[in-house]
Amino acid sequence: MSIRHFVLTSLLAALAISGQTLDPHLLTKPATDAWPTYNGDYSGRRFSSLTQINQSNINKLNLSWIYRATPGETPGAVVGGEGTPTPGNGDDGWGAQIKSTPLMVNGVLYFTTPDNTWAVDARSGREIWHYFWRTRGGIHIGNRGVGMYGNWLFFETPDNYLVSLDAKTGKERWHVEIADVKQEYFSTPAPIVVGNHVIVGTGGDSLDVPGFLEARDPETGAVQWRWWSEPLKKGDPGAESWPDEYSMRHGGGMTWIPGTYDPELHLYYLGTGNPNPVLAGQSRKGDDLFTCSIVALNIDTGKMAWYFQASPHDTHDWDSAQTPVLIDGVINGKPRKLLAQANRNGYFFVLDRTTGKNIVTKPFLETLNWSKGVNGAGQPIPNTAKEPQVAGVLVSPPSGGATNWPPPSFDPETGLFYVSTSTSYSEFYLTDTDPHPEGWGAAEKNAGGLGHTLRAIDYKTGNLVWRHNYPGGGGLSGLLTTAGKLLFSGDGSNHLIAFDPANGKILWHAGLAANVSNGPETYLLDGKQYLVVGAGDSLYAFTLAE
């Protein structure tokens, strides 16, 4: 640990004792009396050691409060941004969905929708403040939430600004531009704070631009380091996997979803997006590194320690941005530092997170039909006959993936990895046959399927232990497991459901006004355990009946 890092950590810890700020030590252990980062802690497991709510009393779980978010320039809102104050500015129909996982620190919940951040009393659901960002544009498909450093909050906007707010008042401290919205970047991730680094990423679908990840200074917003998700010139690592500099510099690889972190190894783990042009691969023959990959980066320098590419030369929009979950497990009788991911391409991977060496590769989707098997490095081998064709080709999974961004969960007590999945097919039609296509090079038509399924996977083998098929299609939901022997998820019929994580038996459910739209969380406050979940434009909080 550097002297500067030690001093900063000591200062933050001292302030935390006085109740003024976030104690950084909370980030390294399972969430109990706080939920201080996107996944609860750095591991990505979304597992809570709380047991007050458990199998024996789950039927006494009642609704405690509801908070309905009203995005936009509402009366009393703190207003910032670079755009013009026009009615409905930036809201393209997605803006009211709560896809963020709220942070809960010192009795306050902090959460976002695109262009909006709120602080809400975690006990009562009463609004404390609301911040609204006047946008210059960008796609408003969703926002994953905020990061916190001391008494400062950080969130990203669809027009690619990193904004810092005072957590007490919602007043803006500063904002800095991450990427140019005119190049059709748009930003969705929740910043992750590690030491004095605010880790930010971005997205983009339309123009062929390169992806990147940045570390920013929490005091000023200045760039500390930047890692590009593909090489930019000949001689760079991975350049041999692209045909030329033009293709690699327009190659995509967006950094859509927050990563995870191992404090002992000092490594930050991230899944990267698909290569561009999307779906059409004729101008980028090769593996297209480091797109559709899991990468490990040094948190202080951004230097890549290792990579594992899950979908070489992707032509189906299967980014690898799904959460890389850190597991301290046992393989062949020996303790191992592991990383597990259920990938959008339909494969479950387990890697050694120290070296990146593959341990398990196994399909978790019965209908998967795009690969010829697995090579010696544990990578799927693409079947070129399943690339988009002018006449069309039937592929499973479709571009939406076997799973997607909603976070999975890992329960160390059952040893099972839980993930929401989709079993379906699409016809892919190549529409841009030019040797150098741009943007989206193919069209897709849904061909039906078997709906959505919640799956429990043995991390040691990749074998399916149990599954729950949702009638009527179901829905992709974020997940939460607890030491109370509970697994929380949502279905496609506006229900929040508690399962037995050992066998998938339904123990409890509650009807909501919309489908679960984020990952559930839990925390202990004043001796009472709360369960909080977002559904549509509202937060719901549940507690045990007294």
By annotation, the residues acting in catalysis are 317
Tally: H helices and E strands in the chain: 2, 39
- The span from the CA of 489 to the CA of 478, in Å, is 6
SS3 388: coil
CB within 8 A of 517, min separation 6: which ones?
97, 98, 99, 534, 535, 536
Q: What are phi and psi of 14, to 5 degrees?
A: -65, -40
Enter the DSSP assignment of 297: E
HSE-up (13 A, CA, CB side) for residue 105: 31
Chain centroid, CA 234 distance in Å: 32
- The span from the CA of 366 to the CA of 253, in Å, is 27
Q: By C-alpha distance, which of 485, 484, 425, 481 is closest to 454?
A: 481
**Do β-strands 334-342 and 347-352 pair in parallel, antiparallel, or remain unpaired?**
antiparallel
- The span from the CA of 406 to the CA of 39, in Å, is 11
Enter the DSSP assignment of 306: E
**Which sign does the torsion angle of CA 422, 425, 431, 432 carry?**
positive
Q: Do you know the residue count of the chain?
A: 546
- The span from the CA of 2 to the CA of 15, in Å, is 20
**Which sign does the torsion angle of CA 510, 512, 515, 517 carry?**
negative
In terms of Cβ atoms closer than 10 Å to its own Cβ (0-12, 13-18, 19+), residue 27 is buried
CB within 8 A of 11, min separation 6: which ones?
none
- Amino acid present at 351: L
- 31 and 40 Cβ atoms separated by less than 8 Å: yes
Structure tokens of 368?
């998967």
